[in-house]
Chain A
């Protein structure tokens, strides 16, 4: 697929459809790929990569890129396309300045999980028939089932459908995927309150406030974050104690509620492995249950559940009485 993408990108550069390409760039190791913009065929040939580790959601980069002159080619995976659609709904990206080639995604691998299998001294990883072949300095080759090392966001993939594109690399679109992404939320809901509190305190107190979650999140793309703004009253840049982290993450989750497409980037990039997606999914689950199913970015939607209402919405007291949250 990488070759086909490079070939198509070169064509589109050549025929003037676009003047640059948003994609992923090789790093020192196969697994450290970063989103990058390519300007020439040479650059594409040299550095453009598409493999099991190109998980990064590039949609957020397009906020800045589509404001620049010219037109950019963006390869969007299904989950990226939801984020992009949502950014379109929020008028954050200029659709006319981007040419979107939808690419299928078969799931991305989590390097931590490969390492957790006990494989050390990894020199190379190649893909073969849905498996990963991991080569080590000892010249051993381990076959790893990709499913076993999926990123959380891929394990609970919600859709293989690309919701916005100019063309599809494969010519055909994927479909929504049945998933159990709310199971873990339900599990936490079922804990006694003290246990829930202990769970979250344990998770959130590990936060080092590196802001990676905020920086990667396509919904967290404010011109200026409230946490950086002295006028907001909650300005707070550095980690201070456990409570601050509670606050930061609650507010962050609240601010993206209704706009979060559940792309899972926050948890993917967290160096402390805090399951941040469980906060976002809690909001999504609540909104689905209380206000009807809603998927941010899926359609051209003017109002999301938090900026909408019905006369007969549930009263806030329902939080304490409805089932599912064992107490």
Chain B
């Protein structure tokens, strides 16, 4: 762990379901659609695998934004996973907002395997939002930043 002395760059964690959104991200790559390198993707089988703990953990460790991507409602590979994810994330985001965490640091977006364009656009706009919000200070655990 090091003291950060470079200029701030946003750190964004994107959870992508294996069947739609991860494939959408692949398609963005195949089509050479640019989005900032600040986005780091974690592959999960389904958006319903994303535990709110993972999101809180990411913020704790210094992530500035977390985005969860899944299949469009009705298209889930496991039929209902994204519906559960939708409720879970809605409630979690609402709670974070209630605690005064800036809105916009969390997002859910449905991206299909055919929507490489949408994936890149989503990431570009999300990074833009996070840049405008600035560094995540409210949820990060300072001990993770310094020795």
Are B83 and A311 interface neighbours, CB within 8 A? Answer: yes
The binding surface of chain A is classed by DSSP as: helix
Q: For A307, what are the chain B residues with a Cβ–Cβ distance below 8 Å?
A: 84
Check if B86 sits within 8 Å of A199, measured CB to CB: no
Asked if residues B92 and A306 are in contact (CB atoms below 8 Å), the reply is no
Interface size on B, residues (CB 8 A): 38
Which residues from A are CB-within-8-Å of B138? 197
The answer for the CA separation of A270 and B140 in the assembled complex, in Å, is 25
Which one of A55-63, A88-96, A145-153, A233-241 contacts B? Answer: A233-241
Binds B, one of A21-29, A120-128, A246-254: A246-254
Interface readout for B98-128 with A: 1 if CB under 8 Å, 0 if not?
1111111011100000000000000000000
Does B139 lie at the interface of the complex (its beta carbon under 8 Å from any beta carbon of A)?
yes
Known contacts A254-B52, A282-B94; A313/B143 CB under 8 A: no
Contact, CB under 8 Å: A290 / B90: yes
Q: Are B99 and A316 in contact (CB under 8 A)?
A: no
Q: Output the nearest chain B residue to A193 by Cβ-Cβ distance.
A: B100
CB distance from B74 to the nearest CB of A (A): 7
The answer for the CA separation of A253 and B106 in the assembled complex, in Å, is: 19
B134 located at the interface, meaning its Cβ lies under 8 Å from any Cβ of chain A in the complex: no
Residue in contact with A313 in the complex, picked from B53, B83, B94, CB distance below 8 Å: B83
Residue pair A246, B86 in contact (C-beta under 8 Å)? no
B105 CB to nearest chain A CB (Å):
11
Q: Are B87 and A233 in contact (CB under 8 A)?
A: no
A211 to B120, CA, bound (A): 44
Confirm or deny: B93 has a beta carbon within 8 angstroms of a beta carbon on chain A: yes
* A327 contacts the other chain (CB 8 A): yes
Q: How far is the CA of A305 from the CA of B138 in the complex (A)?
A: 29
Within 47-65 of B, Cβ neighbours of A (below 8 Å) are at 52-53, 56-57, 60
Indicate if A188 sits at the interface (CB-CB under 8 A).
Answer: yes
| CB of A39 closer than 8 Å to a CB of B | no
Binds B, one of A76-84, A132-140, A163-171, A317-325: A317-325
Those of A257-280 within 8 Å (CB) of chain B: 257, 279
Name which residue of chain B comes closest to A257, CB basis: B91
Question: Taking A188-B98, A246-B99, A309-B87 as contacts, is the C-beta distance between A254 and B92 under 8 angstroms?
Answer: yes
Q: Given B53, B80, B91, which contacts A287 in the complex, CB threshold below 8 Å?
A: B91
- Given contacts A316-B108, A319-B90, whether A243 and B99 have CB atoms under 8 Å apart is no
Hey, which chain A residues are within 8 Å of B106, CB to CB? 316
How many angstroms between the C-alpha atoms of A234 and B88 in the bound complex?
A: 19
Which residue, of B84, B90, B91, B143, has the highest number of chain A Cβ atoms within 10 A? B91
Contacts of B17 in A (CB 8 A): none
Q: How far is the CA of A189 from the CA of B94 in the complex (A)?
A: 10
CB <8 Å contact, A243 and B142: yes
| Residue B38 interfacial (CB < 8 Å) | no
Contacting residues, chain B, for A232 (C-beta < 8 A): 53
Q: Is A300 interfacial (CB 8 A cutoff)?
A: no
Give the residues in chain B near A313, CB-CB below 8 Å.
83, 86-87, 90
As a 0/1 sequence over residues 30 to 58 of chain B, the CB contacts with chain A under 8 angstroms (1 = contact) are: 00000000000000000000001100110
Complex Cα distance, B100 from A193, in Å, reads: 5
Is B97 touching A325 in the complex (CB atoms < 8 A)?
yes
A283 to B91, CA, bound (A): 7
Q: List 21 A-B contacts (CB under 8 A).
A: A196-B98, A199-B100, A200-B99, A243-B139, A243-B141, A250-B96, A251-B53, A279-B95, A286-B94, A286-B95, A291-B87, A309-B86, A311-B73, A311-B83, A313-B83, A313-B87, A316-B86, A316-B90, A316-B93, A316-B108, A320-B93
> 18 more A-B contacts (CB under 8 A) besides A305-B87, A309-B83, A309-B86?
A185-B98, A188-B98, A189-B98, A193-B101, A197-B100, A197-B101, A199-B100, A200-B99, A201-B100, A251-B53, A253-B95, A254-B52, A254-B95, A311-B73, A313-B86, A316-B106, A320-B93, A327-B103
Interface residues of A, Cβ cutoff 8 Å to B: 185, 188-189, 193-201, 226, 232-234, 240-241, 243-244, 246-247, 250-251, 253-254, 257, 279, 282-283, 286-287, 290-291, 305-311, 313-320, 325, 327
B interface residues (Cβ-Cβ under 8 A, vs A): 52-53, 56-57, 60, 73-74, 80, 83-84, 86-104, 106-108, 138-143
